[in-house]
Amino acid sequence: MRSHSNVMIVINHFTRKSYFNEHLRSHNNEKSFKCSVCYKSFTSKSGLKVHSHLHSNEKPFKCSLCNKSFAQKSHLICHLHLHNNEKPFKCYVCNKSFIQKGHLKDHIRSHYNVKPFKCSVCNKLFKRKSHLNEHLLLHNNVKPFKCSICNKSFTRKSYLNRHLCSHNHEKSLELLILK
């Protein structure tokens, strides 16, 4: 009976039943909302909506100090830590500090060489979930990052950025030849 009353306390903590159900899905690792571009999964529709800003280049969150814009509010908050020179997350092993909690978690794994994320296709292990998700794009032949100049597509944004430099390099060479 005691556990039943504890459940009631938890349920009453949430203002809506949908929030409670979302909370339960997070414990069950139930991620039924999937991004149609990169296939990343989310426990809530709102999480998917926030994520979708990354693919649309929509950046509704603006820094009041430097006017830089962000797709997600959490990214703006981390950016504000830079302005304030804050690194609130400290490693208990070596005392190194980080702006984001996720960066601290990744760092702690490096002390122990932990790779908790496993590819279900080839069993390759990864330290970061984001690296696993990028890896899965290779198996699915998904290339969500497209060059606006030549329409070539890439699995990673960093690969697209490197490719864009080649276009810039071509333009620089053209200018040198014209001179």
pLDDT of residue 91: 92
pLDDT of residue 169: 65
The backbone torsions φ and ψ at residue 146, rounded to the nearest 5 degrees and listed phi first, read -110, 135
**Within a domain: residue 25?**
yes
**Within a domain: residue 79?**
yes
Distance CA 141, CA 103 (A): 28
- Structural domain count, the chain: 1
**Within a domain: residue 7?**
no
In tens digits, the chain (179 residues) has pLDDT values of 334 444 444 445 666 677 677 666 666 666 778 888 888 888 778 788 878 877 877 888 899 999 898 888 888 888 888 888 888 889 999 999 998 888 888 888 888 888 888 999 999 998 888 888 888 888 888 888 888 889 998 888 888 888 888 877 655 545 444 44
In the chain, count H helices and then E strands: 7, 10
Cβ atoms of residues 128 and 106 within 8 Å: yes
Distance CA 78, CA 114 (A): 25
Separation in Å, CA 60 to CA 75, 83, 165? 11, 19, 27
**Within a domain: residue 64?**
yes
pTM over 0.75: no
State the residue range of the domain holding 41. 16-84
User: Side chain identity at 174, as an amino acid letter?
Assistant: E
Phi-psi region of 39 (alpha: psi -120 to 50; beta: other; left: phi over 0): left
State the CATH number of the domain containing residue 71.
3.30.160.60
Distance CA 39, CA 16 (A): 28
